[in-house]
Amino acid sequence: MENIASDSPVKKTEKAIRDQAIANDVLLEIVRFGIMAPSGDNVQPWRFAIGEDCITLFINRGADDSFFNVQQVASLIACGAALQNMVYMAEVKGLEATVELFPYGEGRDEVAHIHFAMSGKPQNESIEKAILNRCTNRRMFSTSQIDKGIWEKMVATTSQEADTFLLYNEEKAWRRPLAHTVYLADMVRVARQDLHEYLMKILHFKAIPKDKRGQEVVPDEFRTGMPLKNLQAGLMGDIYMRSMRKWSVMRVARYFGAGLAMPLFGAMSVVMSGGIGLVCVRSFSETTIVRAGRAIERVWCELEREGYALQPLAALPLLTLRTHLEGEAAFKPSDIKKLKKAKAIADHHLHIPADAIPVFMFRAGRSAQVTQRTYRQRTAQLLVSSEEA
Ligand SMILES: Cc1cc2nc3c(=O)[nH]c(=O)nc-3n(C[C@H](O)[C@H](O)[C@H](O)COP(=O)(O)O)c2cc1C
């Protein structure tokens, strides 16, 4: 087979174009864009194998042992987002991507097999910038509403995935009750020792080292997790997070009411936004969650392209999902009460249908840029041969 990197002056027939082998460096670049996807606490729960004209995406089920990652939902969403980025980049490269989800069945680590063929001319080129610029923005946003046309575009792109849909609420009057739902879910989060310790484990409190020329030299341990400054909590927030590192301190602080700082900050950030969205699925399976992940990345990139910022608000959907999938035993009765109250408010204000399973809530709006981004593992660290994975 011919390689697309070679410049043949001969005019090719459509079939000849499709039969070209795809250069390894093109597939590598597609993987690099996959790696730019969001993941819960930036754990990057994925691996990739490059084959002839194909890439296999694997989930790393050991990457995220957080209480949030119930039945791998957070990691499957992340894999769906990585898959979407790769499909987007195929378009940019003039390739046609054929995706097979869970080729060996759910429960296996092979999430997707993507086969590429030359399709002719590059498409959707502006998406490349959106994938690279997309990030989680935890700053306060402008309260001006997001254009209804943009929401409708996001609704349409979400429902392209079977069994997946987007609900949204951009009206100002509804922000306070929705802020209350985020506050309640965050109250449950900050009261749990396991979640507190997990957050403190994935945060990097040290500054990123710089070389003599002032360039960042990113150590491997910074390539997953989040730098403290990525929380965009300001000087006081940074001091608060540093002083609450130990659970024993947080426990005492909670006794004196200082544990409310994070839930209040979360609630405030909902009020200070241009709208709230919620991605739901109609049935629960690993396949539908990966599909939801694809839809989420499309929504996120679409917002980025339109100049809007996004922050996931995962606590309510993921904790509620845990109660549905695993029962209530892992929660205190007072926490269950808070989650039910939060869910009831969300049901009402987002018109969540009774058969919907919410998986990803977010706020969006105009915002200043984040001042500290997260990093990614090196591509070589995430490449495996199919037998290794
Ligand atoms: C399933 C999932 C859940 C997430 N939950 C939250 C969340 O509750 N709050 C938040 O601020 N960020 C959340 N994030 C954002 C991640 O922390 C973020 O994607 C990761 O740190 C990488 O940073 P980036 O998005 O800026 O590239 C979530 C991301 C995913 C994929």
242 pLDDT higher than 80: yes
Listed residues 134, 169, 190: the one ending a domain: 134
How would DSSP label each residue in 284-297? -SHHHHHHHHHHHH
CB atoms within 10 A of CB 377: 15
Q: Are residues 41 and 101 in the same domain?
A: yes
**CB-based contact 378:223 (threshold 8 Å):** yes
Instruction: Note whether 108 and 160 are same-domain residues.
Output: no
Taking the centre of ligand 1 as the mean of its atom positions, its distance from the CA of residue 311, in whole angstroms, is 7
* 349 Cα to the center of ligand 1, angstroms: 24
Residue at token pair 């001091």: 239
Do 301 and 181 share a structural domain? yes
* Residue ranges with strand state E in 124-251: 164-169, 203-204, 226-227
pLDDT by residue (tens digit) across 270-290? 999 999 999 999 999 999 999
Provide the pLDDT confidence category of residue 16 given band limits of 50, 70 and 90.
low
Closest C-alpha to ligand 1, atom 4: 40
Average pLDDT, the chain: 93
Cβ contacts of residue 370 below 8 Å, gap of 6+? 135, 136, 137, 138, 139, 230, 232
**CB contact at 8 A, 156 and 168:** no
11 pLDDT more than 60: no
| Domain limits for position 305 | 148-365
Q: Which residue minimizes the CA distance to atom 19 of ligand 1?
A: 38
Whole-Å CA distances, 181 to 29, 73, 256, 342, 370:
40, 21, 23, 4, 25
Q: 13-17, 70-74, 340-344: which has the minimum mean pLDDT? A: 13-17
Report the percent of the chain where pLDDT is more than 90.
85
Q: Which has the closest alpha carbon to 383: 11, 73, 162, 60?
A: 60
The reply to whether 261 and 358 lie within a common domain is yes
Residue 168 and residue 277 in contact, taking contact as beta carbons nearer than 8 Å: yes
Last residue of a domain, one of 134, 166, 194: 134
- Mutate-to-test residue for ligand 1 from 35, 41, 133, 134, highest number of ligand atoms within 8 A of CB: 41
Q: Whose CA is nearest to atom 24 of ligand 1?
A: 135
Best of 36, 39, 70 for a ligand 1 pocket test (most atoms within 8 Å of beta carbon): 39
322 C-alpha to ligand 1 centroid (Å): 18
- List the Cα angle 360/366/372 in 5-degree steps: 75
Per the DSSP assignment, residues forming a β-bridge with 311 are 363
Hey, what's the torsion of the CAs at 245, 251, 253, 257, to 10 degrees? 130
Closest CA to 306 of 160, 159, 157, 93: 157
CB 342 within 8 A of CB 180: yes
Eight-state DSSP code of residue 272: S
| Residue 269 belongs to some domain of the structure | yes
Q: Is the CB of residue 175 less than 8 Å from the CB of residue 252?
A: no
pLDDT over 60 (residue 5):
no
* Span 176-214, pLDDT tens digits: 999 999 999 999 999 999 999 999 999 999 998 899 999
Q: 68 pLDDT exceeds 50?
A: yes
pLDDT in tens, 344-362: 999 999 999 999 999 999 9
Give yes or no: residues 105 and 228 share one domain: no
Residues 197 and 118 in one domain: no
Q: Is 277 within a domain?
A: yes
Q: Which of 107, 57, 62 is nearest to 80 (CA)?
A: 57
What's the CA-to-centroid distance between 12 and ligand 1, angstroms? 45
157 and 107 in a common domain: no
Strand (E) positions, 7-163?
46-51, 54-59, 95-101, 110-118
Same domain, 50 and 72: yes
Statement: residue 51 has pLDDT above 80: yes
Domain's final residue, options 134, 157, 187: 134
Q: Looking at the domain assignment, is residue 381 inside a domain?
A: no
Residue 376 resides in a domain? no
> Quick check: is 372 in a domain?
no
232, part of any domain:
yes
Verify that 344 and 202 share a domain, yes or no. Answer: yes
Which is more confidently placed, 218 or 5? 218
Residue 294 has pLDDT above 50, yes or no: yes
CA of 245 to the centre of ligand 1 (A): 20
CA 39 to ligand 1 centroid distance, Å: 6
What CATH number did the domain enclosing 358 receive?
A: 3.40.109
Angle, CA 256 vertex, CA 254 and CA 257 arms, to 5°: 60
Which residue has a Cα nearest atom 28 of ligand 1?
A: 40
Q: In whole angstroms, give the CA distance from residue 12 to residue 362.
A: 47
CA of 34 to the centre of ligand 1 (A): 15
User: What CA–CA distance (Å, rounded) separates 389 from 384?
Assistant: 6
Count of domains for the chain: 2
Beta strands 110-118 and 46-51 are unpaired
Strand 226-227 to 203-204 pairing: parallel
**CATH code of the domain containing 72:** 3.40.109.10
In this structure, are 127 and 265 located in the same domain?
no
pLDDT, greater one: 389 or 297:
297
Ligand 1 pocket list (CB less than 6 A): 38-42, 74, 77-78, 135-136, 138, 226, 311-315, 374
Nearest to 45 by CA among 299, 360, 376: 376
Please check whether residues 187 and 328 belong to one and the same domain.
yes
Instruction: Report d(CA 305, CA 271) in Å as an integer.
Output: 23
Q: Which two tokens stand for residue 190?
A: 């900050």
386 CA to middle of ligand 1, Å? 28
Q: Is residue 128 part of a domain?
A: yes
The atom of ligand 1 lying closest to the CA of 39 is 31
The predicted-structure confidence for 76-129, as pLDDT tens digits, reads as follows 999 999 999 999 999 999 999 999 999 999 999 999 999 999 887 898 989 999
pLDDT score, position 172? 81
Give pLDDT, residue 1.
45
Checking if the pLDDT of 17 tops 80, the result is: no
- Whether residues 59 and 121 fall in one domain: yes
- Is 389 a domain residue? no
Look at ligand 1, atom 10, and give the residue with the nearest C-alpha: 312
